[in-house]
Copies of this chain bind each other. A is one copy, B any other.
Amino acid sequence: MGRKGLNREHIVKTAIKIIEERGVMNFSLHLLADELGVKTASLYNHIANINDLFYDAGIYALKTLENCLRDAVSSKERDEALRSLAYAYLDFAHEKRELYDFIMYIRTQNHVGIDDFVTSANIPIVEVLSSYDIDKTDLVHRHRLLRSILHGFITQERSGFFKHSPESIQKSYEVAINCFLNDIHNAENNREE
């Protein structure tokens, strides 16, 4: 047999569809080939290997997250922007659960070059933090902290850790964000003196 109109873009998009539906851990090239009406080996005319495919899919996932965060902060600044961003991040993790997991997965495999896209996805976060009156060094530390809180919270929630107490998860997230905001306000005040 010859041409069936298969191409890399179509393969990547179908891969993402499967990942979104069934999760990275249940993804397989066989499943992907089936969905495309093709034999597994045929995929290798278009991709080098599964990681090569995951690289492209990972970029897509990161761009989706970036757009989501960008929308959340657009034409906002300081606390309003930061709260909006934090909730957008949490919503993304909830609504696109498998995609979020996938982003975390590809970050554990260290693909050469994916870092640039991780950095890109963080631009909205850096922009929000830049609207505060803190120096550049402090901004880095607080950026790291914010990322830790956002991702850490989601990981804990996902692993079922929060089920141990009946307290509202929503409320816990508010406490977390307020903690971060209080401290950054404090840093601003101390700077003025």
Contacts and interface: CB of A to CB of B under 8 A. Distances in A.
Q: Interface of chain A, helix or strand or loop or mixed?
A: helix
Interface residue range, chain A: 35 or more
A181 to B, nearest CB: 10
B142 A148 contact: no
Interface string A151-193: 1110110111111110101011001101110110010000000
Contact of A141 (B138, B145, B150, B172): B172
A138 to B, nearest CB: 8
Given A142-B175, A147-B161, 10 more contacts: A107-B161, A140-B172, A144-B169, A144-B172, A145-B153, A148-B152, A148-B156, A155-B155, A179-B183, A182-B183
